[in-house]
């Protein structure tokens, strides 16, 4: 979706420059929520203030909302049919493999040192096997970052200068 | 009242989800489970449909879960709920935010949060795999002998085929889903 947004607002409509749109995508990733929605909200805000932000957000949500609402209505009627059950019994394990591969890909860029590896392993264990709420684990990760910033300034400087690699 | 619960739950999800759709799955699953809105396999089916349709997985699953739990109005409030936190945040703090994201403190917070996102995506994979591999109506508990009888070997076969297709032959995810749905049909008929 990101390349589509870029083409529309930079090349087609010329609402923002290509430098601005890169900043928008970076900011959108560090905000909570879906990146595509955040980017649209940010761009709407840059072009026409609060009103722009609101209409851009509604605009980016509506198409998927209508598509999914239609599918959901249809799916509720057919979900107990034997053919549908058979199809989904095949799709479920494929989704498991898609997500596993996505997890491995993300781990290659997001885990840069031993501390990161430990945090990631702890998070999986806590959420998947000990039923801890994901929210607490996210806050825990943020707390680790805060603690390093305030308590271990040397380590923090090291992380900031080379992304956390030891030495 | 269910509308208020849907709205608040998805607002919570919108406020605490970083790193895209997959990382959101454990959060959504927790809310669905604690409110008893959907079964685990229904939720996995929704993830599958969200994967195959355009638009962000966050919006797609909010609409779908809301609809399944409480009809069209449920879909509307859940979708609004998931989008509102970041909309409000951007309206309020947008100007400060562009400055803050380059601040060392912000970088350190993400240094801690990024590996958690990885963990959440792996947890999502574990949840979906559990739902896909275990025979309907069974749960993971008891002895290893018990384990063999509750695991659906056909699902594991499809899982491995899908991994090979995605990694080795770089087949498009949508095509992988189509192939695996055909395999699911064939295995059911056998």
pLDDT at B78: 95
Residue of B nearest to A89 (CA): B184
Looking at the predicted structure, is the pLDDT value of residue B93 above 80?
A: no
Partners of A31 on chain B (C-beta within 8 Å) are 86, 89-90, 97
Indicate whether A146 belongs to any domain. no
Total domain count for chain A?
1
Looking at the predicted structure, is the pLDDT value of residue A113 above 50?
A: yes
Indicate whether A139 belongs to any domain. no
pLDDT at B137: 55
User: Are A90 and B180 a contacting pair at CB < 8 A?
Assistant: yes
Reduced to 3 states, what is the DSSP secondary structure of residue B134? Answer: strand
Closest CB to B63: pick one of A65, A100, A129: A65
pLDDT category at A154 given cuts 50, 70, 90 is confident
Query: Which of A35-44, A116-125, B101-110, B167-176 is predicted with the least confidence, judged by mean pLDDT?
Result: B101-110
Mutate to test the interface with A, among B6, B34, B55, B58 (most CBs of A within 10 A): B55
- Which pLDDT tens digit goes with each residue over A78-110? 988 999 999 999 999 999 999 999 899 888 888
User: Are A1 and B185 a contacting pair at CB < 8 A?
Assistant: no
Partners of A135 on chain B (C-beta within 8 Å) are 12, 16, 27
Q: Where are the alpha helices (DSSP H) in chain A?
A: 2-6, 18-29, 35-78, 82-110, 114-124, 134-151, 153-162
Closest CB to B118: pick one of A53, A63, A103: A103
The whole-chain average pLDDT of chain B stands at: 86
Q: To the nearest whole angstrom, how far is the Cα of B47 from the nearest Cα of chain A? A: 8
Residue B151 DSSP code: B
Q: To the nearest whole angstrom, how far is the Cα of B61 from the nearest Cα of chain A? A: 8
| Interface membership of A2 toward B (CB under 8 Å) | no
User: Are B55 and A67 a contacting pair at CB < 8 A?
Assistant: yes
* Inter-chain contacts counted by CB atoms under 8 A, chains A and B: 337
Looking at the predicted structure, is the pLDDT value of residue B49 above 70?
A: yes
Closest CB to B112: pick one of A30, A133, A141: A141
CA dihedral of residues A60, A63, A68, A73 (deg, nearest 10) = 140
User: Are B188 and A82 a contacting pair at CB < 8 A?
Assistant: yes
The whole-chain average pLDDT of chain A stands at: 87
pLDDT category at B148 given cuts 50, 70, 90 is low
**CA of B176: how far to CAs of A95, A97, A100, B160, in Å?**
9, 10, 14, 12
Least Cα distance to A99 among B119, B53, B115 occurs for B119
- Rounded CA-CA distance B79/B60 in Å is 8
pLDDT at B123: 93
Q: What is the DSSP string of A120-163?
A: HHHHHIIIIIS---HHHHHHHHHHHHHHHHHH-HHHHHHHHHHT
Q: To the nearest whole angstrom, how far is the Cα of A21 from the nearest Cα of chain B? A: 12
Share of chain B above pLDDT 90, in %: 41
Mean pLDDT of B165-184: 91
pLDDT at A167: 39
- Rounded CA-CA distance B66/A14 in Å is 36
pLDDT category at B162 given cuts 50, 70, 90 is very high
**CA of B156: how far to CAs of A83, A90, A125, in Å?**
20, 10, 22
pLDDT category at A5 given cuts 50, 70, 90 is confident
pLDDT at B143: 53
pLDDT at B136: 61
The residue whose two tokens read 């990631």 is A120
Q: What is the 3-state secondary structure (H, E, C) of B50-92?
A: HHHCCCCHHHHHHHHHHHHHHHHHHHHHHHHHHHHHHHHHHHH
Reduced to 3 states, what is the DSSP secondary structure of residue B139? Answer: coil
Indicate whether A123 belongs to any domain. no
Residues 6+ apart with CB under 8 A from A18: A6, A10
pLDDT at B9: 94
User: Are B53 and A67 a contacting pair at CB < 8 A?
Assistant: yes
Indicate whether A120 belongs to any domain. no
pLDDT at B139: 56
Indicate whether A67 belongs to any domain. yes
Residue A32 DSSP code: S
Indicate whether A83 belongs to any domain. no
The backbone torsions φ and ψ at residue A113, rounded to the nearest 5 degrees and listed phi first, read -155, 180
Indicate whether A90 belongs to any domain. no
Least Cα distance to B41 among B152, B144, B166, B183 occurs for B152
Looking at the predicted structure, is the pLDDT value of residue B127 above 70?
A: yes
The residue whose two tokens read 């384990």 is B147
pLDDT at B147: 64
pLDDT at B189: 84
Judged on CB neighbours under 10 Å (0-12, 13-18, 19+), A158 is middle
User: Are A110 and B117 a contacting pair at CB < 8 A?
Assistant: yes
Note down the domain range covering A52: 1-78
Indicate whether A86 belongs to any domain. no
Looking at the predicted structure, is the pLDDT value of residue B109 above 90?
A: no
| Interface membership of A156 toward B (CB under 8 Å) | yes
- Which pLDDT tens digit goes with each residue over B130-145? 888 887 655 555 555 5
């Amino acid at each position: 979706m990101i390349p589509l947004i870029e083409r529309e607002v930079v090349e087609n409509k010329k609402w923002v420059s290509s430098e601005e749109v890169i900043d928008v995508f970076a900011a959108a990733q560090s905000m909570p929520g879906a990146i595509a929605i955040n980017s649209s909200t940010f761009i709407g805000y840059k072009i026409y203030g609060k009103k722009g932000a609101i209409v851009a957000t509604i605009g980016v949500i509506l198409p998927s909302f209508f598509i999914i609402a239609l599918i959901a209505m249809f799916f509720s009627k057919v979900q107990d049919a034997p053919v549908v059950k058979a199809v989904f019994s095949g799709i479920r394990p494929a989704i498991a493999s898609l997500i596993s591969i996505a997890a491995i890909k993300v781990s290659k860029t997001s885990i840069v040192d031993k501390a990161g590896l430990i945090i990631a392993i702890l998070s999986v264990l806590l959420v998947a096997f000990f039923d801890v709420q994901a929210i607490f684990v996210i806050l825990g990760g943020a707390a680790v970052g805060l603690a390093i910033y305030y308590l271990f300034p040397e380590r923090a400087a090291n992380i900031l200068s080379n992304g956390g690699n030891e030495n | 009242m269910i509308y208020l619960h849907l709205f608040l739950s998805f607002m919570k999800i919108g406020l605490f989800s970083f790193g895209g759709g997959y990382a959101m799955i454990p959060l959504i699953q927790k809310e669905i489970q604690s409110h008893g809105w959907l079964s685990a396999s229904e939720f996995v089916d929704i993830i599958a449909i969200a994967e195959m349709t355009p638009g962000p997985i966050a919006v797609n699953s909010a609409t779908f879960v809301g609809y399944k739990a409480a009809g069209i109005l449920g879909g509307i409030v859940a979708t609004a709920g998931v989008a509102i936190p970041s909309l409000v945040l951007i309206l309020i703090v947008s100007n400060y935010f562009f400055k803050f994201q380059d601040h060392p403190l912000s970088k350190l917070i993400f240094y801690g949060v990024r590996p958690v996102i990885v963990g959440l995506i792996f947890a999502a994979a574990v949840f979906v795999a559990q739902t896909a591999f275990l025979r309907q109506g069974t749960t993971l508990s008891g002895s290893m002998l018990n384990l063999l009888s509750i695991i659906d070997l056909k699902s594991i076969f499809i899982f491995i085929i899908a991994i090979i297709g995605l990694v080795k032959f770089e087949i498009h995810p949508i095509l992988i889903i189509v192939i695996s749905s055909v395999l699911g049909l064939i295995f059911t008929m056998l």
